[in-house]
């Protein structure tokens, strides 16, 4: 590799890391906004979901049954239905740039809004309303916080002001 290419790669790496640092700084405000707009925020694990066609418009949606372990905001049943855009019916699949992917069996924190069109929830803010739960030596964390610390953050940031 020539010195010129090496310097260009290093410069590109610096620019990308600066963009990543900016995005990480900007994200907490966006997450707080989503948390405030959510009707409920839950720690949950969802099933693989069942996809079906909607008649009007002709789109595919997937309904997931999500088992609520803990509610950080709002109240829900022990099992809630979360509907997302996209899925597969037969040999036809549909995805959307704004769609949410819920990994079956994974611990997730979901920021949910009750749908106006049925007895189900949708994820507030699309993919931004899905927070993965990490496992660290005997402890689960959300955004680097223990579940209890995340609950305190929700109390401080997500309640209407």
pLDDT score at 65: 98
pLDDT in tens, 99-125: 898 999 999 999 999 999 999 999 999
Provide the phi-psi class of 104: left if phi over 0, else alpha when psi is between -120 and 50, else beta: beta
CATH of the domain at 67: 2.40.50.120
Total domains in the fold of the chain: 1
Residue 94 CA from chain centroid, whole number:
19
The closest alpha carbon to 159, from 70, 43, 71, 73, belongs to 73
- Give the pTM: 0.78
Query: Which range marks the domain in which residue 109 is found?
Result: 3-157
- Quote the percentage of the chain above a pLDDT of 70: 80
pLDDT in tens, 35-68: 999 999 999 999 999 999 988 778 999 999 999 9
- Cα distance between residue 61 and residue 122, in whole Å: 11
User: What rounded mean pLDDT belongs to the chain?
Assistant: 82
């Amino acid at each position: 590799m020539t010195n010129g290419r090496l310097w260009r790669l290093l410069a590109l790496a610096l620019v990308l890391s600066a963009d990543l640092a900016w995005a990480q700084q900007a994200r907490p405000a966006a997450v707080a906004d989503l948390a405030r707009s959510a009707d409920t925020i839950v720690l949950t694990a969802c099933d693989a979901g069942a996809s079906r066609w909607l008649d009007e418009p002709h789109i595919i949606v997937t309904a997931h049954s999500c088992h609520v372990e803990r509610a950080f905001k709002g109240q829900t049943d022990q099992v809630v239905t979360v509907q997302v855009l996209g899925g597969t019916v037969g040999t036809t699949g549909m995805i959307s740039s704004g769609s949410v992917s819920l990994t079956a069996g994974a611990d997730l924190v979901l920021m949910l809004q009750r749908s106006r069109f049925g007895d189900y929830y949708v994820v507030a803010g699309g993919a931004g309303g899905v927070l993965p739960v990490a496992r660290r030596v005997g402890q689960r964390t959300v955004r680097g916080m223990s579940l209890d610390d995340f609950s305190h953050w929700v109390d401080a940031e997500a309640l209407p002001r």
